[in-house]
Amino acid sequence: MSVRRPSRTRAGAALVMCGGVLAAAALAGPPPATAAAGDPPRLDWKSCGDAATPALQCAMLEVPLDHDRPDGRTVKIALNRLPATAPPGERQGPMLLNPGGPGISGLWMASWIPSRLPPDVAAAYDWIGFDLRGSQHSEPRMSCDPHYFDGPRPDFQVGQGTTGAWLEKAAGYVAKCTEKHSWLLPHLSTVDHVGDMESIRRALGAEKINFFGWSYGTTLGSTYAQLYPRHVRRFVLDSIVGPSVSWYDHNVLQDLQHEKRFKAFTAWVAKADGVYHLGTDPAEVEARWYAMRTRLREHPVGRIGPDEFDDTQVAGGYDVLRWPRLATVLSAYTNSGDSAPLVTAYERYAAPDPADDSFDLYNAVMCSDSKWPRDFRYWRKDQAKVNEKAPFYTYNNMWFNAGCLTWPVKAGNRTRITGRGLPPMLLFQATDDPATPYEGGLAMARALPSARLVVERGGGSHAITFAGNTCLDDLLVDYLRGGKVPSDRGLVDRTCAKNPDPAPVWVTPAPAAATRAQATALPRQFVR
């Protein structure tokens, strides 16, 4: 969901196979490692050996598997730090960073975020990147099925007769997670990760922490603020998940908003017929897109079938600057049968990486944080209604989340956010963001009375700070530098105009080697 996107059964017996609930008293796995009760968490910072950022330091933090049992088994959290360089009297403490997912590594942020800020602001904080427990460089690292998204996959569309195949595939994935990580799965909720953030604060020896989070990171930040209000200093939440919506209902909101963004894309393409030659009517462009999808089902391009094409196009909902490349993909394939732009776009935006385990942690958090329907008959009926309004994304999203049908951990309820006793926080939200729809930003502003909400009117991208909108970024800098927030004007405290949509240009595919290098320089949500 990226919050998403982190990258990414036959009915009957397959659905029952993983239907049991894991009990804490019967966890499978090797004998537990223990730490002495009451020992303070320790960090042994060492150079990361990063040639580009020599000052970057790395460490592993040992934390309780169950924060209610601090003397029990432990896991390790991977962290890095770019230390503050300002004079001691001008330093503002640690800034914890999270890019969302859940499950995307946060280690890249410790050097990247300060490089985007004025030198005095960058020098004032200790920038702390970390990977959530169970993910990426933390230990242990979940890895359920590294090839789950290998393509071409069964068509997402239920009308193609693939429901049984997808139910079996999803249930098989959950079975592998259960077999490999049954002892860990009950301890991967947002509250568990927030407990780890508190352990990081204690290990840093800080009375208060600062926090910057995109997307799912807004859930982490708001939950930490609710549970540990005395330790909150400056918190920035960008592209906001509503504080009380269930994850199932949140995904329905995503479906509806992605449909609007897809139609915004086809309208933009229609205005650029002189470049892309796909017609001047958005409906005609849309028809050509669905026709291309049908052709890819019948004749995949290597590992790219209709699902992989869907995933590639969904990337355009996260960043409007990808539209020229995606329009080039559709034009080249439709008008001349050229699939090279498609292959390049897929590799940049959607191709699975077997070394990326963010989908595993995504499931662990989503399926345990809030209750999901467990009867596929409900999903089938409800999702069909949503699909009538939002055919572009509904079944893609449904099968992405199908593991929650049989996830073996009893789901709880999301932490209620009341915002009592908190200092001013700064919220950013685009009105047309498809991944974290606008309703979530408004709901968070209501839940956090001391917060100030900044809205990018008409903005349709996800993660909107550090994306070139000076109105947004200037407000962020003022807050980080001195705690300044916009005046209280009601629910929306400041409105910024969106940046212009990109100019329609033909995007020539980059050589394959260059494409791979660019795609690995930053997490995928930043690759254009």
Catalytic residues: 215, 433, 462
Beta-bridge mates of residue 494: 454
Show the 3-state SS of 418-433.
Answer: CCCCCCCCEEEEECCC
Q: Which two tokens stand for residue 9?
A: 């059964």
How many other CB atoms are there within 10 angstroms of residue 414's CB atom? Answer: 22
Residue 528: CA count within 13 A, CB half-sphere: 11
Angle made by CA atoms 225, 68, 23, in degrees to the nearest 5: 115
Token couple for 176: 């592998």
Closest CA to 398 of 388, 387, 412, 410: 387
Distance CA 521, CA 325 (A): 19
Could you list the beta-strand ranges (E) of 352-436: 426-430
DSSP category for residue 64: E
CA dist 125 → 60, 83, 352, 474 (Å): 20, 7, 35, 18
Classify 7 as helix, strand or coil.
Answer: coil
Six-digit token string for 72? 């029990």
CA distances from 331 to 152, 309, 323, 512 (A): 22, 14, 12, 20
The token duo for 358 is 């963010």
Burial of 62 (0-12, 13-18, 19+ CB in 10 A): middle
Q: Which of 287, 20, 365, 349 is nearest to 178 (CA)?
A: 20
Specify whether the CB–CB gap between 217 and 193 falls below 8 A.
no
**Cα(487)–Cα(134) distance, rounded to whole angstroms?**
41
In 3D, which of 112, 326, 92, 289 has the Cα closest to residue 209? Answer: 92
Run of H or E including 331: helix 323-336
* Distance of alpha carbon 453 from alpha carbon 239, whole angstroms: 11
Which one, of 238, 263, 266, lies nearest residue 436 by Cα?
A: 238
Torsion, Cα 460 462 468 471, to 10 degrees, reads: 70
Backbone dihedral region of 101: left (phi > 0), alpha (psi from -120 to 50 degrees) or beta? left
Q: Which of 55, 528, 429, 51 is nearest to 218 (CA)?
A: 429
Handedness of CA 442, 443, 444, 448 (dihedral sign): positive
| Sequence-distant (≥ 6) Cβ neighbours of residue 295 within 8 angstroms | none
Q: Tokens standing for 211?
A: 């926090």
